[in-house]
Amino acid sequence: MGAPSNTLWQWDIDRAAQPTRRPALDGDAAVDVCIVGGGFTGLWTAYYLLRRNPNLDVLVVEAESVGFGASGRNGGWCSALLPQSVDAIAASHGRDAALAMRRAMLDTVLEIGAVVEREQIDCDYVRGGTVVVARNQAQLARAHEEVAHDAAWDGVDGLELLDAEQTRERIGVTRALGATYTPHCARIQPAKLVQGLARAVEHHGGRIVEGTRATSVQPRVVTTDRGRVSARHVVRATEAWTPTLPGHARDVAPVYSLIIATEPLPQAFWDDAGLAHGETFSEHRHVIVYGQRTADDRLVFGGRGAPYHFRSAVRPEFDLEPRVFDALHRALVDLFPGVADAQVTHRWGGPLGIARDWHASVHYDRSTGLGSAGGYVGDGVSTTNLAGRTLADLITGTRTGLTTLPWVGHRSRRWEPEPLRWLGVNAGLRLAELADAEEARTGRPARLGRVLASLTGH
């Protein structure tokens, strides 16, 4: 697959220390637990397994290097977001289960902060919350609806409605009519978190091999290009790369998200732009965008819009879409005109995994010893931690409140075969763009937005 594209996060690590590579698997092995995938899901699972039972022999197998996928490339939101809505969970499992799932995610943001402190991981963790701005009347109506919806769910997400003046106190964007704010998000440097977590896994006795590609994941056996691993428990933690494994071609659809980062910006810019308390930010539009002010005063800004590629293809060249990078830069300048002349120093991207019903899930079959987690739809920094803790409980036979959460054992139906999958996913992306254009033009909620919501279950 080659090295990831020009990520700010990896550059930030490499400039401080010469990058090193862990050795590959050296022939056949036998362990207690083999985890396929060295991203957040795999590493959190290994970490909590070793915390529960330090005597376990845990091996993490990574095809490239730790954090090569979305774990090391994302926008740096450690949030309580889930891809599935609370209403969708309640429809299948009831109100109490839906609230338990939401509260577990809120606790997860704090849990990651606790691990960062305990393991002394320097990853720029600042819990500043998220502000989502409304910049036309349709977006403002959506903001009001979201706050009312949260109130109907006992205010579980702590969502506040900000007026225009309150919004300006947090973020200085153009044409802000208002915003929503939740405290349940932390800004992080994701590559530092994933690297620090990998070191913590090794410190607690786990082993990680890199440059070792799994070609088959079966109950109690992982076959790789470097040898065969026998294990009592096998965890597949491959997210967007899942379709590359035999038998999993239609489990998730890999969809790309792209990001740009500016040079460090002067204090005069931040005096107007705000984000002084580590807030992450977004906009109440249909095409998902996300941003943060980094620890060294850059703007990092990303979003969807890159196409889904036929037959769930994942290739390095898909990380770089000049059309999408240009659109992101225009959107960023529209939000913050003062950034127009700033240099964009880094451009990168990567795939995320979308289940057919936009529902993340955790699985473990005690009879086969096979477990998995994924389908995070880009909300994986925190969701992976909850998944890792849950898998550790399931594997060790520890019955907790996590093992009864409604995403445990959830089965998403498979994606349609091609070309229907290609047509459907890309049509959804186009619908989001058209809905935003309609709302910018009319100021009224787009009819296409309702169609899009019906497709995604939101």
Residue 265 belongs to domain spanning: 124-188+255-356+420-456
Is 209 part of any domain? Answer: no
C-alpha angle with apex 279: 283 to 8, nearest 5 degrees? 90
Q: Report how far Cα 155 is from the mean position of its chain's Cα atoms.
A: 24
- Tokens 């022999």 -> residue: 57
Is 388 part of any domain? Answer: no
Is 103 part of any domain? Answer: no
pLDDT in tens, 214-261: 999 999 999 999 999 999 999 999 999 999 999 999 999 999 999 999
φ, ψ for residue 269 (rounded to 5)?
A: -65, -45
Is 279 part of any domain? Answer: yes
Supply the pLDDT for residue 5: 54
Is 133 part of any domain? Answer: yes
Question: Looking at 131-140, 190-199, 445-454, which range is the least confident one?
Answer: 445-454
pLDDT at residue 456 tops 70: no
d(CA 99, CA 152): 11
pLDDT in tens, 345-392: 999 999 999 999 999 999 999 999 999 999 999 999 999 999 999 999
CB contact at 8 A, 143 and 179: yes
pLDDT in tens, 51-107: 999 999 999 999 999 999 999 999 999 999 999 999 999 999 999 999 999 999 999
Mean pLDDT for 434-457 is: 75
| Strand-strand pairing, 178-182 and 130-134 | antiparallel
Is 362 part of any domain? Answer: no
d(CA 35, CA 41): 9
Domain count, the chain: 1
What's the predicted TM-score (pTM) here? 0.96
First to last CA, the chain: 34
pLDDT in tens, 144-176: 999 999 999 999 999 999 999 999 999 999 999
Residue 449 belongs to a domain with what CATH number? 3.30.9.10
Is 105 part of any domain? Answer: no
Is 364 part of any domain? Answer: no
User: Cα dist. 181→125, 175, 280, 379 in Å?
Assistant: 18, 17, 10, 17
